[in-house]
Amino acid sequence: MDIRIGHGYDLHRLEPIAPVGTGRPLRLGGVAIESDRGPVAHSDGDALLHAITDAILGSLGMPDIGQAFPDSDPRNESRDSADFFLSAVRLAREAGYAVVNIDSTVVLERPKIGPVKGAIRASLAALAGADLSRVNVKGKTHESIGPIGRGEAVEVHAVVLLGRVT
Ligand SMILES: [Zn+2]
């Protein structure tokens, strides 16, 4: 059995959304989420898409998202992170692999992602070209401890398993 496992991690600082602060509207897994704070980022700051993209690239032994899509490149300014994700899925496919499953944990003090978890899973499954049952998203808080617990950042951990299809 030819399988590859990849791990991804991402963190973005959260600030009040522009024009009050420098935060962008909060997006996770390609889904817009109602929040008064959002990520400070060069792209759209979708930490969940970034972590899973890195997990896919990592499983393939390829350069990470920061190397593939540097924030010094003006083309990546405000960019929809689905572009990064889809290009990682395409690279996997070109290497002969498909997504077996994705598991992820979003650590966010507020808002709680419970009400939008289903929408996030559906969005990720569509982007990955995988069945809904193969994509999982878990939400946690940081128990009010540290910067994440104070709502100053969002953190995401992800693992991806790829299997050879050709
Ligand atoms: Zn990121």
Query: 9 C-alpha to center of ligand 1: Å?
Result: 9
Query: 99 C-alpha to center of ligand 1: Å?
Result: 21
The residues, any chain, with a CB within 8 Å of residue 39's CB and separated by 6 or more, are 12, 13, 14, 23, 24, 26, 27, 45, 46, 47, 154
pTM for the full predicted model = 0.96
Query: 83 C-alpha to center of ligand 1: Å?
Result: 13
Which residue in this structure is represented by tokens 């809904």?
132
At 40, list the tokens.
């400070």
Distance between CA atoms of residues 149 and 107, nearest Å:
9
Angstrom distances, CA of residue 18 to CA of 39, 44, 71, 79, 109: 10, 13, 20, 17, 20
Question: Please, are residues 121 and 101 in contact by the beta-carbon 8 Å criterion?
Answer: no
Query: 94 C-alpha to center of ligand 1: Å?
Result: 24
Residue 70 maps to which CATH number?
3.30.1330.50
pLDDT in tens, 10-33: 999 999 998 999 999 999 999 999
Quick one: pLDDT at residue 76?
Answer: 84
pLDDT in tens, 71-107: 888 888 889 999 999 999 999 999 999 999 999 999 9
Question: Please, are residues 49 and 82 in contact by the beta-carbon 8 Å criterion?
Answer: yes
Q: What percent of the chain has pLDDT over 90?
A: 90
> How many independent structural domains does the chain possess?
1
At 165, list the tokens.
């299809």
Q: Structural domain of residue 60, as residue ranges?
A: 3-164
Query: 45 C-alpha to center of ligand 1: Å?
Result: 5
Mean pLDDT, the chain, rounded, equals 96
Whether 65 has a pLDDT exceeding 80, the answer reads: yes
Query: 97 C-alpha to center of ligand 1: Å?
Result: 24
Query: 166 C-alpha to center of ligand 1: Å?
Result: 31
